[in-house]
Amino acid sequence: MRSDLIKEGPARAPHRSLLRAMGITENEMKRPFIAVVNSKSDYIPGHKHLNEIAEAVKAGIRNAGGVPFEFNTIGVCDGLAMNHKGMKYSLSSRELITDSIEIMLTAHPLDAIVFIPNCDKIVPAMLMAACRMNLPSIFVSGGPMLAGKKDDEKYGLSEMFECVGSYAAGKITADDLLAYEKAACPTCGSCSGMYTANSMNCLTEAIGMALPGNGTSPAVSSARIRLAKQAGERIMDLLRENIRPLDILTKDAFINALRSDMALGCSSNTVLHLLAIAHEAGVKDVDMALIDEVSKSTPQICKLNPASKVFITDMDEVGGIQAVLKELSKKNLINLDCLTVNGTVADRIANLDGADGEIIHKIDNPFRKDGGIAVLFGNIAPEGAVVKQGAVAPEMMNHTGPARCFNSEEEASDAIMAGKINPGDVIVIRYEGPKGGPGMREMLSPTSALIGMGLGSSVALITDGRFSGATRGAAVGHVSPEAAAGGLIGLIEENDSVTVDIPNRNLQLNVSEDIIAARRANWKAPEQNLTGYIKRYAQHVTSGSKGAVFDD
Catalytic residue chosen out of the listed positions 329, 468, 543, 545:
468
Contact status, residue 194 vs residue 469, Cβ threshold 8 Å? yes
* Catalytic annotation present for 468: yes
By the 8 A CB rule, do 69 and 33 touch? yes
DSSP 154: E
Element (H, E) at 27: helix 26-29
CB 321 within 8 A of CB 215: yes
Report how far residue 445's alpha carbon sits from residue 465's, in angstroms, rounded to the nearest whole number. Answer: 13
Burial code of 496-508, b = ≥16 C-beta within 10 A, e = fewer? bebbbebeebbbb
Strand residues in 312-466 grouped as ranges (E): 339-340, 343-344, 374-376, 384-387, 398-406, 426-429, 460-463
Three-state SS sequence of 182-199: HHCCCCCCECCCCCHHHH
DSSP state of 210: B
Residue 252: in which H helix or E strand, if any? Answer: helix 251-264
Residue 497 bridge partners (DSSP): 402
- Count of CB atoms within 10 A of residue 529's CB? 5
Name the amino acid, one letter, at 21: A
Whole-angstrom CA distances from 19 to 106, 183, 257, 259 are 17, 47, 40, 46
Which residues are marked as active site? 468
